[in-house]
Chains A and B, each alone.
Chain A
């Protein structure tokens, strides 16, 4: 049986933790709102841009741009996006588990290289045998534009120079506050799975010629898509943290109420015991006839 003073200390410490989780939840909520707004505003662009690029490449009928060239996947670059900070539930661990499964699947047929984004991914891949060619681990959330620019240049060159045959991205996509959706997607080559559009349709005019339009369009493809993945991951991270901290606050509340109940029981027991002792003493004195 714990003593009263121990219990009181314990309750106070749980209460302190609860205050911390509560504050973290508030911060995460504010950040989430910002990230969410950004994601919602930018989605129309992100979602229509690759579609348009694909559509244009299909109607032109030929491989007009190096990004559209499909080669056997012998060398693959995998970009893994996690968060810098923890305390966001299973956000990072689930993602890394998916990433590992993906890498294990691909490693038999291809040479793999990893680009890790976020401190959690960097720490994870440090211990493993996969070569990490680039790693961004500090302040990723504040350097989205810089990272996506730099990485898009790097990936673009490597793909065009045939140093890699495919680029995959594994990230948490923001779907709802309850849970993010882990998404594995191919960034390069950009190629359609559907058949080409039949020649019977009205052929569009190109102004200037198709090569130049596709070239113009694809110049932006990598950069804005990478920005997309990074921002989606951030929105999902904040949402996960919000949920995790809300659960922690709730659990602390439950723990406190259990402990308070226990505290009251013990206190009551000790009062009863003391009363009994007094009563016994009184009875004893009575019998002695004092």
Chain B
């Protein structure tokens, strides 16, 4: 599934109050609106809304980290993943 062992993803998770995660990772799973999306290096460009759930990522050391998120947005482009979460809705 991942032919190039050296390929990495750059993950950045940002919330209005602070930068939650900035790391080089091997894979990321985000809770999409209709279930989890797995993102590996070489993923197609994607813009997607997020649902409620856990964002899971595996660091370069192989450790799995989890983060609870509730809604937001993910953008994948050139092996860079940008996640916005924690915005409070007005209405």
Give me the interface of A with B, judged by CB distance under 8 Å. 41-42, 44-45, 48-49, 52, 55-56, 149, 152-153, 202-208, 210, 212-213, 216-217, 219-220, 223-224, 227
Cβ of B66 within 8 Å of any chain A Cβ, yes or no, is: no
> Contacts of B45 on A, CB cut-off 8 Å?
202-205
> Contacts of A44 on B, CB cut-off 8 Å?
12, 14, 18-19
Cβ of B49 within 8 Å of any chain A Cβ, yes or no, is: yes
* Number of A-B residue pairs at CB separation under 8 A: 76
CB distance from A146 to the nearest CB of B (A): 12
Q: A48, A202, A207: which contacts B47 (Cβ < 8 A)?
A: A207
Cβ of B1 within 8 Å of any chain A Cβ, yes or no, is: no
Segment at the interface with A among B3-11, B55-63, B82-90: B82-90
> Contacts of A45 on B, CB cut-off 8 Å?
14-19, 84
Q: Are A208 and B18 in contact (CB under 8 A)?
A: no
Cβ of B69 within 8 Å of any chain A Cβ, yes or no, is: no
Q: Are B16 and A204 in contact (CB under 8 A)?
A: no
Q: A42, A203, A206, A219: which contacts B89 (Cβ < 8 A)?
A: A219
Q: B17, B47, B82, B84: which contacts A206 (Cβ < 8 A)?
A: B47
Q: Are A208 and B82 in contact (CB under 8 A)?
A: no
CB under 8 Å from chain A, chain B span 69-87:
73, 75-77, 82, 84, 87
> Contacts of B12 on A, CB cut-off 8 Å?
44, 48
Q: Are B75 and A52 in contact (CB under 8 A)?
A: yes
Q: Are A42 and B47 in contact (CB under 8 A)?
A: no
The binding surface of chain A is classed by DSSP as helix
Closest B residue to A227 using CB positions: B16
- Beyond the given A48-B12, A153-B90, A207-B48, could you list 20 further A-B residue pairs with CB under 8 A, ordered by the A residue number? A41-B18, A42-B16, A42-B17, A42-B18, A45-B18, A45-B19, A48-B14, A48-B82, A52-B75, A52-B82, A56-B47, A204-B46, A204-B47, A205-B44, A205-B45, A207-B46, A207-B47, A213-B49, A216-B73, A224-B87
Cβ of B23 within 8 Å of any chain A Cβ, yes or no, is: no
User: Can you report 20 A-B residue pairs in the complex whose CB atoms are below 8 A from each other?
Assistant: A44-B19, A45-B15, A45-B18, A48-B84, A56-B47, A204-B47, A204-B76, A204-B77, A206-B46, A206-B47, A207-B47, A207-B49, A210-B47, A213-B48, A213-B73, A216-B73, A217-B73, A217-B84, A220-B87, A223-B90
> Contacts of A205 on B, CB cut-off 8 Å?
44-48
Q: Are B49 and A52 in contact (CB under 8 A)?
A: no
In the assembly, what is the distance between CA of A85 and CA of B89, in Å?
32
Query: In the complex where A42-B17, A44-B19, A207-B32 touch, is A219 in contact with B90 (Cβ < 8 A)?
Result: yes
> Contacts of A220 on B, CB cut-off 8 Å?
87
In the assembly, what is the distance between CA of A1 and CA of B12, in Å?
70
In the assembly, what is the distance between CA of A142 and CA of B76, in Å?
37
Closest B residue to A145 using CB positions: B88
Closest A residue to B16 using CB positions: A45
> Contacts of A48 on B, CB cut-off 8 Å?
12, 14, 82, 84
- 6 closest pairs, A vs B, by CB? A204-B45, A207-B48, A41-B18, A44-B19, A220-B87, A205-B46
B17, B44, B84: which has the most chain A beta carbons within 10 Å? B84
Closest A residue to B71 using CB positions: A216
Q: Are B87 and A208 in contact (CB under 8 A)?
A: no
CB distance from B3 to the nearest CB of A (A): 19
> Contacts of A152 on B, CB cut-off 8 Å?
90
Cβ of B67 within 8 Å of any chain A Cβ, yes or no, is: no
Query: In the complex where A44-B14, A48-B14, A48-B82 touch, is A202 in contact with B19 (Cβ < 8 A)?
Result: no
CB distance from A224 to the nearest CB of B (A): 6
